[in-house]
Structure 1
């Protein structure tokens, strides 16, 4: 019996690696002789760097950069020397998880630290960068990143813009001539887990701004500021990509990555599955187990369990999803290769009670599922 165990992290509870370990323990309790293949996954958000380093044995490097509020922070990034490829997770520098609820400030947070990580990759000799955009605390459309990479964003008096998306409303000059010239030889693939455009009711500010501390008035300010930035960008670049699917990812970083780094925007789970060579593992597998904190209708937009289920479906492999909760519309996942899905809770419990028990509950569910699977095989 060969089981592929490839969960995402369960937010605020266990990492993807810890989840995989717990699931394997449950399988082994039911089937000690089973062969388990552990392949921690992510979809481009927080934890993507860890998943990639685990999958590829890349070197984990560290750099002190500015966080979303401009404070020093030691961020990690991955370096795959033989491929001259850098793995950069936006959340390492500008992640929402590094701020308290009171510190969240969508008007002024910056992606400057992401630019600093890209500079470190260029200094290392990178010819390719995989940029993971989930989990941001920012809404500056990548303006801070551009400033770190050498671009000049100036107001009408010729002064550099201060950090944050709100300042973009004062942008008068966008000078890209001073961008680091090494960027022209850097191939960038940006991982996104949403398909939102830059602006409007489905845009970065309206949909994601509130969770980053934006009030209703702030959302209007930010959408207006990002719209002005898109106008000037179109003038400079000769094309307008504000409506691009994924442009609104990470507070508009999808827009900046595509427009200024010539990045292709790809679902994060697809990139990580490719790097981890997950499709090549599937032919010899009897059962796939995956999971994450919540499974619902929104999971179809590119979340880990659905990416894995679609890949497994192409090879005729059954997929079990374990989720902290099953939300509205989760049944649609059954049409995308999910064989069955189960919530972790073994009785009524609050989230506060459930989080510390996540590993225990994952092991228990996997033990039960494995026992059921073995019983089916003996019929």
Structure 2
């Protein structure tokens, strides 16, 4: 028997690699001695960039950048010399994990640090940028990145906007004369794990603002700023950045970059699996195990476990989904892709405790899976 373990990260707890290692440990504890392939995956969410860089054999280059609140930190980018490809994890420079909860401030948090990483890649002679944008602390429409790359944002009086995104609703003119022309020679691929558009009830401000600390009043201010950005971009470029699928990802970074660069916005898990040649890993597999923190109906929108399960289904391989939380009632749509959904938490507990217990509970889940598969 051959088992392929291909989980995503468990958010706020373990990396995809650590999840795969814990499941592997549990399966081996069951006495299973057959083939076992660990193939951790990412879908564009936080952690995808570092994982992708490892698969591609990238070296790591550290650069001084500004964190979401403007403090100087060091952030890595992956560099594949042979293809002049830079792998950039937005969260390494502009991520929510860089802030303490009391510091969350989406009216001031910006993506300038990620822009600095892109500039560092251009300075290295990058011909391709792979940008993984999950886990951002920002709702700035990508204006922090664009400012680092040479754009200037002005109000109706011709004064430069000082605080983005707080002042974005005052935007009147965008000066593109200083924009870094090297971007026109670079292929940019943005890996996303959400489908949200820029504006509206399911847009960047309404959905992601509260996750990044925004009150209802602040969500309204952020929405107004993004609406103004869309309007001014439309006047300047003729591009409507609100029609883009996934344009609202990372607080509108995907939409903002699309306004001034030629980018491909892709479903992160599909791109990732193709890039690492996951289909080859599945050859001869009898079972596939995947998972992340929660598996529910939203998983079917293109999250990592669904991407893995869909590819396995094409090859007729049964899939086990492992998560901290799974639906209590049977879900026919999920059952079409997952033969077994297993919660690693055997009894109800507070989320903080569940996060603390993730690693040992994954080992226990692996033991349970290994025992069950050997008894089939």
Normalized against structure 2, the TM-score is what? 0.96
Q: Aligned equivalents of 1:203 and 1:126: distance in 2? A: 32
Q: CA deviation at 1:257?
A: 2.4
Map 1:112-131 to 2 at 5 A.
112-131=112-131
Pair 1:104-2:76 in alignment: no
Q: Aligned equivalents of 2:329 and 2:42: distance in 1? A: 22
Output one character per residue of 1:40-87: Cα deviation in whole Å (capped at 9) or x when no partner.
Answer: 111111111221123222112211101111111111111111121111
RMSD: 1.6
8 Å contact from structure 1 (residues 234, 240) kept in 2: yes
Q: Show the counterpart of 1:262.
A: 262
1:333–1:24: structure 2 CA closer, same or farther, 3 Å change rule? farther
Structure holding more helix per residue: 1
Q: CA deviation at 1:327?
A: 4.3
Q: Show the counterpart of 2:304.
A: 304
8 Å contact from structure 1 (residues 309, 336) kept in 2: no
Q: Show the counterpart of 2:193.
A: 193
8 Å contact from structure 2 (residues 146, 257) kept in 1: no
Q: Aligned equivalents of 1:160 and 1:4: distance in 2? A: 54
Q: Secondary structure at the match of 1:105?
A: coil
> Tell me, which stretches of 5 or more residues in structure 2 are unaligned?
none
Q: Show the counterpart of 2:243.
A: 243
1:348–1:228: structure 2 CA closer, same or farther, 3 Å change rule? closer
Q: Show the counterpart of 1:367.
A: 367
Q: Secondary structure at the match of 1:52?
A: helix
Output one character per residue of 1:173-225: Cα deviation in whole Å (capped at 9) or x when no partner.
Answer: 21122111100011111111111111111111111111112111111111111
1:335–1:177: structure 2 CA closer, same or farther, 3 Å change rule? farther
Normalized against structure 1, the TM-score is what? 0.95
Pair 1:352-2:352 in alignment: yes
Map 1:61-76 to 2 at 5 A.
61-76=61-76
Q: Show the counterpart of 2:291.
A: 291
Q: Secondary structure at the match of 1:289?
A: strand
Map 1:140-289 to 2 at 5 A.
140-289=140-289
Output one character per residue of 1:24-54: Cα deviation in whole Å (capped at 9) or x when no partner.
Answer: 1111122442221111111111111221123
Q: Aligned equivalents of 2:65 and 2:312: distance in 1? A: 39
Map 1:24-103 to 2 at 5 A.
24-103=24-103
1:125–1:177: structure 2 CA closer, same or farther, 3 Å change rule? same
Number of residue pairs matched by the alignment? 376
Deviates more, 1:168-177 or 1:192-201: 168-177
Q: CA deviation at 1:254?
A: 1.4
Q: Aligned equivalents of 1:235 and 1:38: distance in 2? A: 49
Q: Aligned equivalents of 1:108 and 1:21: distance in 2? A: 38
Q: Aligned equivalents of 2:86 and 2:54: distance in 1? A: 14
Q: Aligned equivalents of 2:110 and 2:153: distance in 1? A: 13
Q: CA deviation at 1:90?
A: 0.9
